[in-house]
Amino acid sequence: MTKTFAVIGDPIDHSLSPNIHNAAFRELGLDCTYIAYRIPKGELAAGIESLKSIKIAGFNVTIPHKVEMLKYLDWMDDNCILIGATNTVSNDNGKLKGYNTDMDGFLDPIKKRNIAIKNSNVLLLGAGGAARAIVVAFAKEKASKITISNRTKENAINLAHLAQKLGIVVETKSFQEIDASTQYKFIINATSIGLKNETTPIPKECINKDTIVYDIVYMPMNTDLIVQAKKNNSTIIYGYEMLLGQAARSFQIWHGIDAPYDAMKKALLGGF
Ligand SMILES: NC(=O)c1ccc[n+]([C@@H]2O[C@H](COP(=O)([O-])OP(=O)(O)OC[C@H]3O[C@@H](n4cnc5c(N)ncnc54)[C@H](OP(=O)(O)O)[C@@H]3O)[C@@H](O)[C@H]2O)c1
């Protein structure tokens, strides 16, 4: 019987996850299909029931359900507990198991480049769900200090509490307070800034040849932050690399085999 997988969220029609996973199924000749399923906020319980009724084999979870989905899980892995959100669910005979592959998906492109994280100074823009996974990632890899800068100060402070709990030195700043003379090893954008071609609030002086600039916004690929990084010869990590990293790990969880990364990458880049 064909196994069905899905990504749930709202909005969902522009999701690239079906392209990525269906390409993997084609590459490996798996009798599986992957669909995008819109579940509006407030309708998660009913949405999950309908997924169970079609015997969904597994699904990815995106905005706005990553946190609320925890309520419906029968089991969750340590990353879900730490991050407080899930992006990957498997259906084991009606029992829903939750995982979070955002954190390792975020780290994958850094590790592939053999860039050391230990003892590094990090500037993180954002304090939403993705930023939470990123703080846990930097704490796990023993970065020395993280500066969280966010539009809403209160959200930055809440995330700073998590960083503190995980033993990482942390400070919060408004965008205006970012110090142009500080050398950060990593500059990460985990806000939605860039989705609509907005200008980055990061001072240009912070972006130089010794900086690793990682913009997790993947559409468009060349955000203003990435353009600035190119101009200043920084090391660049694109948002699509995190997207592929988390998808490859979800694939591994569901199918128990390594994901065909190159076929997934080709399908994803064709979608741009
Ligand atoms: N590459 C990947 O695999 C991947 C994975 C996950 C997410 N993402 C991308 O990362 C971004 C954040 O996702 P998320 O799940 O963390 O969303 P989220 O939980 O809704 O958080 C959104 C973040 O963006 C900030 N923000 C939103 N609009 C803003 C604006 N106009 N000006 C300044 N800041 C703004 C929010 O600040 P406030 O606290 O002030 O609201 C918050 O920090 C999205 O663009 C998403 O597409 C990429």
89 and 137 fall within a common domain:
no
Question: What pLDDT sits at residue 141?
Answer: 97
Backbone angles phi and psi of 3, in degrees to 5: -90, 135
12 and 54 fall within a common domain:
yes
114 and 231 fall within a common domain:
yes
134 and 227 fall within a common domain:
yes
Residue 203: asked if its preceding bond is cis (omega within 30°), the reply is: no
The CATH number given to whatever domain includes residue 62 is 3.40.50.10860
The CATH number given to whatever domain includes residue 131 is 3.40.50.720
Decide whether any atom of ligand 1 lies within 6 Å of the 60 Cβ: no
229 and 140 fall within a common domain:
yes
Q: For a substitution probing ligand 1, which of 66, 153, 191 has the most ligand atoms within 8 Å of its CB? A: 191
CA angle at 249 for the pair 211 and 119, rounded to the nearest 5°: 30
pTM of the model: 0.95
Asked if residues 20 and 74 have their Cβ atoms less than 8 Å apart, the reply is: no
Per-residue pLDDT of the chain (272 residues; tens, 9 = 90+): 899 999 999 999 989 999 999 999 999 999 999 999 999 999 999 999 999 999 999 999 999 999 999 999 999 999 999 999 999 999 999 999 999 999 999 999 999 999 999 999 999 999 998 999 999 999 999 999 999 999 999 999 999 999 999 999 999 999 999 999 999 999 999 999 999 999 999 999 999 999 999 999 999 999 999 999 999 999 999 999 999 999 999 999 999 999 999 999 999 998 77
Question: What pLDDT sits at residue 270?
Answer: 85
Question: Active site includes 66?
Answer: yes
135 and 257 fall within a common domain:
no
**Looking at ligand 1, which residue's alpha carbon is closest to its atom 7?**
130
DSSP 86: -
153 and 29 fall within a common domain:
no
Decide whether any atom of ligand 1 lies within 6 Å of the 217 Cβ: yes
Residues 6 or more apart whose Cβ sits within 8 Å of residue 114: none
Task: Please report where in the chains the tokens 């480049």 appear, as a residue.
Answer: 113
Task: Give the chain's domain count.
Answer: 2
Q: For a substitution probing ligand 1, which of 152, 192, 214 has the most ligand atoms within 8 Å of its CB? A: 192
Asked if residues 90 and 55 have their Cβ atoms less than 8 Å apart, the reply is: no
96 and 125 fall within a common domain:
no
Instruction: Dump strand ranges (E) for the chain.
Output: 3-9, 32-38, 58-61, 75-76, 88-92, 95-99, 121-125, 145-149, 169-173, 186-189, 212-215, 235-237
Q: Which amino acid, 137?
A: A
Domain of 227? 103-237
219 and 198 fall within a common domain:
yes
